[in-house]
Chains A and B, each alone.
Chain A
Amino acid sequence: MKSGLRRDQARVAWLFSAPALVLISLFILLPFLMSLVYSFTDKMLVMRPGRSVEFTGLENFVKVFTNGTTRQSFINTGIYAVMVVPAVVVLGTILAVFVNRPLKSVKVFRAIYFSPQVVTMTVVAVVWSFIFSPGSTGIMNSLLGLFGVEPHTWLQDPDLALGCLAVMYIWQTLGLEMLIILGGLQYIPGELYEAAMLDGCGAVKRFWFVTVPLLRNTMVYVLVSVTINTLKLFTQVYVLTNGGPSNSTVSVVYQLYKVGFLNNQQGYSSAIAVVFFLIVLAISLLQNYLMREK
């Protein structure tokens, strides 16, 4: 009876696991293994007839670090992350503290601050590209003109284009990160603050000795998830700039798409993907390390 039940349990468990296992094996594990293998070859997306795939050793990886555009794509993506991540973490925390009040009106503002999240990135990009119109009558130029700032060409300026893409992403995601940090804030039991207050701690001390340590895991989560999301920069580039002007907005994902899909170089694209994966892996491991340590 008992062993029959156990067998039954195992049968159902495998049956229930099978569909998801098939899907993740076919569409994540298999392509991942292919990327690893092809990254050491000169595989083309469409092979020329009569040519076979050759093993090329580390050639693709050397190209990742020496090819101008590809190297630029890693640098750009890094700069983009450096622009977005601190801004989102700092502003998100300020907003979270700002809306952490049990008032009905404040709840409405929470929803308003979050609302850009429901606007799809493609729409965000298109609308903001109009805000960043280059002429002196463009919205952003007119607004800054009130403060005496000279008009800029924004998305057409190699020094500013990437920053514009960063602004779009910050605007879209800030509300979400605010909510996640707010969740962490509200998770902290109120008695802790009362106890600290009884011990004579002021507001600053309370924030430093109660809020910060207890918010740690939430902050690590926000930090890592935002970082990884910024590394995936693609939509704004694809919709607005195609990597220009003068390669100033080529991102890693855009580059691996372009190299693999448009330029046909599957092996080289796989090598870019492997390096990209290793960077994401390193960040994830760092997260595990930071979250485990109490």
Chain B
Amino acid sequence: MQAMSRSRTMTMKVVSMVLYVLVACVFVLPILYMFVSSFKTDTQIVSDMSTIKAFLPTGQLSLGNYSTIMVEGQFWRFFKNSALIAILNVGIEIVVNSMIGYALGMLAFRGKGIIISLVIALAVVPTESVIINKFIVVNSMGLMNTIWGLAIPSAGYPMFIFLFYNHFKGMPQELVEAAVVDGEKYSGVFWKIMMPLSKPIIATVAIMGFIRIWGDVLWPTLVTRDETWRTLPLALRALSTDVYIFWGQIFAFSSLMTLPVLILFLLFQKQFIQSLTMTGIKG
């Protein structure tokens, strides 16, 4: 009897493990496929694609696709563009939205209610619905085809203001008062006390903001005119809509584009997953 139930739990364990692995395949195989194919020649990719070989490093493997996209495809140039834009955007995003979040969450002043209502109202407006007229505004400011035009307009973000506002509202008010009594300025309280205490929420906003700007296609399409500030997604699109399509290069380009984010994810996996898991509870 006992032996039977033990073998039963054993089977259950095996069955559920098989299920876990099968589901994992659905998510992993396309990514694996991309990496594997990036080392193959175009003819190899096409001849492998109807069998299991598509996911295996078979045939002659080389770094040829990589050297081509770096030399002819100017990969590093677009990578540098995307990285600079993302760093500038996320940096400004964190500073600007946390500052207003602190003011709204911890300081008393007249006009606070109006600002909060404004932020809530604007949080409902999807970026996409104002995109053409936002383009007009940015164009009239002379920011077309500049890094500023790409990095700044989305930096003030109601959702992040709200995250910071909620975060600071939940912090003990006495911290501010005690520091002020000790002669600290209200601005000093923010930089010296509040920011160091806010690392988790800063990490959350940094991660979410980075994913947002790194993958954005619509805004760079409007604001870039040539290759000067062309970002990675746009460069990949150009590559994949070319007259001649070189799949090996496309996969190499895609792999290089994915790798840095994947590495960041693996390094900060715990933080990453924790912060995103919380989004549903905080709303």
Using a CB–CB cutoff of 8 Å, the interface residues on chain A facing chain B are 5-6, 8-10, 12-17, 19-24, 26-32, 34-35, 38, 45, 95, 98, 105-106, 109-124, 126-131, 133, 136-139, 142, 171, 174-176, 179-184, 186-187, 217-218, 221-222, 228, 231-232, 234-235, 238-239, 253, 256-257, 260-261, 266, 269-270, 273-274, 276-277, 280-281, 284, 291
Contacts and interface: CB of A to CB of B under 8 A. Distances in A.
Contacts of A174: 27
Contacts of B281: 183-184, 187, 217-218
Nearest to B221: A238
Contact of A180 (B107, B156, B276): B276
A130 to B, nearest CB: 6
B248 to A, nearest CB: 11
B247 A130 contact: yes
Contacts of A284: 124
12 contacts: A9-B109, A16-B99, A17-B104, A122-B236, A127-B34, A129-B240, A139-B49, A184-B280, A231-B126, A235-B233, A256-B132, A269-B132
Smallest CB-CB A-B distances: 5 pairs: A23-B156, A183-B277, A260-B132, A180-B280, A31-B133
Contact of A120 (B257, B265, B276): B257
A19 B240 CA distance: 39
Contact of B20 (A106, A119, A270): A106
B156 A12 contact: no
A291 B280 CA distance: 12
Given A10-B110, A28-B156, A257-B218, A16 B130 contact: no
A112 B132 contact: no
A181 B276 CA distance: 10
B96 A9 contact: no
A123 B130 contact: no
Contacts of B152: 23
Contact of A9 (B108, B130, B158, B277): B108
A90 B140 CA distance: 46
Given A8-B186, A276-B128, A111 B269 contact: yes
Contacts of A136: 50
Q: Is the interface of B mostly helix, strand, loop or mixed?
A: helix
Interface string B79-101: 00000000000000001110110
Contact of A110 (B137, B190, B241, B273): B273
A266 B132 contact: yes
A202 to B, nearest CB: 18
A115 B51 contact: no
A133 B122 CA distance: 42
Contacts of A31: 130-134, 136-137
Given A34-B136, A131-B30, A222 B280 contact: yes
Given A109-B24, A115-B31, A126-B250, A35 B49 contact: no
A17 to B, nearest CB: 5
Interface of B: 17, 19-20, 23-24, 26-28, 30-31, 33-34, 46, 49-51, 54, 95-97, 99-100, 102-104, 107-112, 115, 118-119, 122, 124-138, 152-158, 161, 180, 185-187, 190, 211, 214-215, 217-218, 221-222, 232-233, 236-237, 240-241, 247, 250-251, 254, 257-258, 261-262, 264-265, 269, 273, 276-281, 283
Contacts of B180: 5
A234 B218 contact: yes
B130 A32 contact: yes
A12 B186 contact: yes
Pick from B17, B96, B221, B269 the residue with the most CB of A within 10 Å: B96
Given A111-B269, A115-B28, A20 B100 contact: yes
B190 A16 contact: yes
Contacts of B257: 120, 123
Contacts of A21: 100, 115, 118, 156
A52 to B, nearest CB: 17
B283 A266 contact: no
Nearest to A140: B49
Contacts of B130: 28, 31-32, 34-35, 273
A105 B21 CA distance: 11
Nearest to A123: B254
Contacts of B112: 13
Contacts of B131: 31, 253, 256-257, 260, 273
Contacts of A276: 126, 128-129
Contacts of B132: 31, 35, 45, 256-257, 260-261, 266, 269-270, 273
B126 A232 contact: yes
A251 to B, nearest CB: 10
A174 B24 CA distance: 12
A81 to B, nearest CB: 14
Contacts of B221: 238, 257
A218 B217 CA distance: 29
Contacts of A266: 132-133, 136
Given A9-B109, A28-B122, A112 B273 contact: no
